[in-house]
Structure 1
Amino acid sequence: MNTRRDLLVLFALAGWALAVPHYGSDFAVSMALTCLMYAALSSSWSLFCGSTRYLSLATPAFFGIGAYTSALMLEASGWWAAIALGAAIAAGVAMLMGAAVLHLRGTYFAVLTFGMTELIRHAITYWEKQVTGTVGRVLGVVPERDTIYLTVLALAVLAILVSILVRRSRFGLAMQGIGADEQRAQTLGVDTRLVKIAGFALTAAFAGAVGAAMSVRWTYIDPATVFNPFIGFQTVLIALIGGAATLWGPLIAAVVFSLLAETLRLQLPQLYMMALGLLLILSVLYLPGGLASLRRDSFKWKKGAA
């Protein structure tokens, strides 16, 4: 019953989002596109990291790989093929990265994923300078605005749909078991190494696909733009604020946070980053379960009052 309810809510929200390009201004569409981008990134990040409690900072690496794949292959292969290829390459890199570092946990894993992201960024920068003689790519083929919007919307819907289905599958239960007690999960017969690599690759595939789709938002991309650590930090921040262990928390936080961040950036450009840092501190102190915990706490309060 819960699965049916979640699916109905998802398709109702998707139907509402479909109307934005037809009735909204260019600014409204741009804001909606940002919300959908972070909804897809944070939902897919939470699917793995929220379940296993592995803090990954590698989202910019997979996003940038997808963006560069799209920039290189879009003209030759077409729109959907470029997105699929970006997702596939990002997932392949994640499998190699996961095989190397997923035996670690906590701070060590977070630092290593961040370090590998920087390594990939600098490697691509070095390759462009030494081989191509330039840094960055000019996108000669750019799809229409509505095509980009509908693609990112489809990726966001797919990310949440996969989360709904995986969380109720044996694979999802295995990831939750790893997050609760990895050694116990191993004794129960879970191949924790394979499950972790598969979950990490699934998260990377969505980040790569989103990066491939969003790359055309800029007519020129370079490593500093698409491998920007801020993309990863903001994804983690949104997931934590919404509730990384919940289904709808990252989506709610992606909308609220994107609108708030844009308002702060326009109204308080000098205090923008300070305000975001303060928001994270307050969320950790007073909403450790994320925004999704507000409904649960409210329900408990009403039940206790009754």
Structure 2
Amino acid sequence: MALSCLMYVALASSWSLFCGATRYLSLATSAFFGVGAYTSAFVLADLPWVAAIGLGAALAVAVAVVMGSAVLHLRGTYFAVLTFGMTELIRHSITLAEKSLAGTVGRVLVVVPEPATVYYTVLAIAVGAVLAAMLVRASRLGLAMTGIGGDEQRAQTLGVDTRRVKVIGFAITAAFAGAAGAAMSVRWTYIDPTTVFNPFIGFQTVLIALVGGAASLWGPVAAAIVFSVLAETLRLQLPQVYMMALGLLLILCVLYLPDGLASLGRRGKRVEAAACAEAPRD
């Protein structure tokens, strides 16, 4: 449970870094995760562990730059659908390539690091994603992405190179997703495109970020912990109940907490401030 929790902390925090600020709904997390996982599976026998993680992240960034350059001029449903479509295109392309070149689909991982090494690596990636989100928020890049989320045309009028900013933010998201995929690939002794490009990974990342509050720093972290507990207690024993719980939680958040659970704290502070302002003074 701890490893999955850390993985989703990294994925949701890095997703929120870009999508929470720009209000773009990306469904490409599975693509970056899968690229990182497959890269690690291919090179781990010949490269050191850290180098395999770095290469997985680098290739995910390259995919993000190409994908982002093609679709980041779109918004809303069009952007979401196209990122999902490109993820499926990558998955089917890798499946076809393996069938054509190797005659089989998937790879058996022969070289696998110690479980403690994997755990601390994923922990470092999760901490790095949260720190990156924190630093980006306070940077000019973060301000530019927030401006794009508020009014992209106005940001462009004010001199923001919106295309460049969006591609950079998208690439940062991909770097952490690719690194997480590269580290998590050794969790399975055998991987194939269906496993590591699983759309559920991307959908749950988005769900965690939205429920926690995509525009907040700590909301996705808290939501990742909650979802990990739900997964541990419900998914294995009552998978249908788990999926229903996810759907119900998303509906409730969309209807009553559009800014996620993180907005509860802000609401409480506003109510407290209003109460203090209305309190009679001696």
TM range (shorter): over 0.9
Instruction: Please name the residue that 1:139 is paired with.
Output: 109
Instruction: Please name the residue that 1:100 is paired with.
Output: 70
The Cα offsets for residues 252-277 of structure 1, whole Å up to 9 and x where unpaired, read as 10001111122121342232212211
Instruction: Please name the residue that 1:73 is paired with.
Output: 43
Instruction: Please name the residue that 1:259 is paired with.
Output: 229
Alignment of 1:282-297 (within 5 A): 282-297=252-267
Instruction: Please name the residue that 2:7 is paired with.
Output: 37
TM-score, length basis structure 2:
0.96
Instruction: Please name the residue that 1:150 is paired with.
Output: 120
Alignment of 1:175-186 (within 5 A): 175-186=145-156
The Cα offsets for residues 126-154 of structure 1, whole Å up to 9 and x where unpaired, read as 00011111100000011111100000000
> Among residues 110, 134, 141, which one is paired with 2:80 in the alignment?
110
CA distance in 1: counterparts of 2:241 and 2:140, whole angstroms: 45
Instruction: Please name the residue that 1:127 is paired with.
Output: 97
> How far apart are 1:301 and its partner, in Å?
2.2
Instruction: Please name the residue that 1:242 is paired with.
Output: 212
For residues 303 and 108 of structure 1, do their structure 2 counterparts lie closer, same or farther at Cα, with a shift above 3 Å needed?
A: same
Task: Tell me, yes or no, if the aligned pair for 2:6 and 2:122 is still in contact at 8 Å.
Answer: yes
Alignment of 1:133-212 (within 5 A): 133-212=103-182
Does the residue aligned with 1:112 lie in a helix, a strand or coil? helix
> How far apart are 1:278 and its partner, in Å?
1.1
- Point out 4+ residue stretches in structure 1 off by more than 6 angstroms: none
CA distance in 1: counterparts of 2:227 and 2:109, whole angstroms: 29
> Among residues 6, 23, 26, which one is paired with 1:56 in the alignment?
26
> How far apart are 1:174 and its partner, in Å?
0.5
Gaps of 5+ in 2: 277-282
> What's the % identity of the aligned pairs?
76
CA distance in 1: counterparts of 2:231 and 2:265, whole angstroms: 23
Instruction: Please name the residue that 1:301 is paired with.
Output: 271
Amino acid at match of 2:168: A
> Among residues 256, 264, 271, which one is paired with 2:241 in the alignment?
271
CA distance in 1: counterparts of 2:86 and 2:62, whole angstroms: 14
Instruction: Please name the residue that 1:9 is paired with.
Output: none
Q: Does 1:219 align with 2:224?
A: no
Instruction: Please name the residue that 1:89 is paired with.
Output: 59
Instruction: Please name the residue that 1:229 is paired with.
Output: 199
CA distance in 2: counterparts of 1:214 and 1:147, whole angstroms: 11
CA distance in 2: counterparts of 1:269 and 1:253, whole angstroms: 19
Amino acid at match of 1:292: A
Moved more, 167-176 or 279-288: 279-288
CA distance in 2: counterparts of 1:277 and 1:89, whole angstroms: 33
CA distance in 1: counterparts of 2:266 and 2:48, whole angstroms: 45
Does the residue aligned with 2:176 lie in a helix, a strand or coil? helix
> How far apart are 1:209 and its partner, in Å?
0.4
CA distance in 2: counterparts of 1:269 and 1:243, whole angstroms: 25
